[in-house]
Amino acid sequence: MKTVLIIEDEPALLDGLRVNLETEGYQVVGAHTGEKGIDLAMESRPDVIVLDVMLPGIDGFEVCRRLREFGVKAPIIILSARSAELDRVVGLEIGADDYVTKPFSLRELLARIHARLREHDDWYRHAPKDVRLGSVYVDFEKCHASRDGEAVQMTAREFDVLRLLASHRGQAVTRAQIMNCVFGSSDETGSRSVDTHILHVRQKIEDDPANPRYLLTVYGQGYKLLE
């Protein structure tokens, strides 16, 4: 299970992000100050860090600088109400990997977290950037799906499941592979979660989800996306 560290002094925002990330299957640790955030980063070794700039005590830029000095290599996504180009440049120059301006879309932030975590996965780097399935077009780079030009809402996990299948198009992908690549776990008991996500993806890409044309079950193995 991937761990996300959130360093944010607004309790409501921190709690909201925690709930949504835990729903997505992440373990979440949180801190309300920069000092505590640094301590948690050293203790919990998170896989990605979401860092607010305006913090009591030392600000997010200083936290980012110190984390890099201490050897923390996890991707850092900075949150800031300041949209000036200079602030973005400073954040990236001191070691941040991404910069999101408040107010932000929760869907966008989740997509960016997923993207940063996936960048180091071999299958993700070599997966297609998009896929067309009949009247459905899916742009994995922009996390956008549409049917006949109308937007189709998909979660970041659903995009990842479909992207993994698209990277092995025409080949069976086992539940264990999906669990390991998408959910960061090899626990076979989590296969129900895989099946649930497959069901949701079918509902969004198939004309008749009960009789799928593109996303098929390979009995005894897993699933495959047809050519």
Q: Which of 53-57, 76-80, 106-110, 202-206 has the highest mean pLDDT?
A: 202-206
Confidence of residue 8 (pLDDT cuts 50, 70, 90): very high
Nearest to 112 by CA among 67, 75, 152: 75
Least confident of 10-19, 21-30, 80-89, 95-104: 80-89
- For range 43-61, the mean pLDDT: 92
Domain 122-225, what architecture? Orthogonal Bundle (1.10)
Q: Which regions of the chain carry the CATH code 1.10.10.10?
A: 122-225
- Examine the pLDDT at 221 and tell me if it is beyond 60: yes
Question: Mean pLDDT score of the chain, rounded to an integer?
Answer: 87
* Beta strand extents in 134-178 (DSSP E only): 136-139, 144-147, 150-152, 173-174
Overall size of the chain counted in residues: 227
User: What are the beta bridge partners of residue 201?
Assistant: none
Q: Which regions of the chain carry the CATH code 3.40.50.2300?
A: 3-118
- Examine the pLDDT at 11 and tell me if it is beyond 70: yes
Nearest to 53 by CA among 106, 118, 7, 113: 7
Tell me the two tokens of residue 211: 């009789």
Which residues, 6+ apart, have CB-to-CB distance to 108 below 8 Å? 100
Distance CA 118, CA 125 (A): 8
pLDDT attached to residue 41:
95
CATH class of segment(s) 3-118: alpha beta
Nearest to 198 by CA among 175, 169, 221: 175
pLDDT attached to residue 192:
77
pTM value is 0.59
How would you list the strands of the sheet with 215-218, edge to edge? 173-174, 222-225, 215-218
Distance CA 100, CA 22 (A): 20
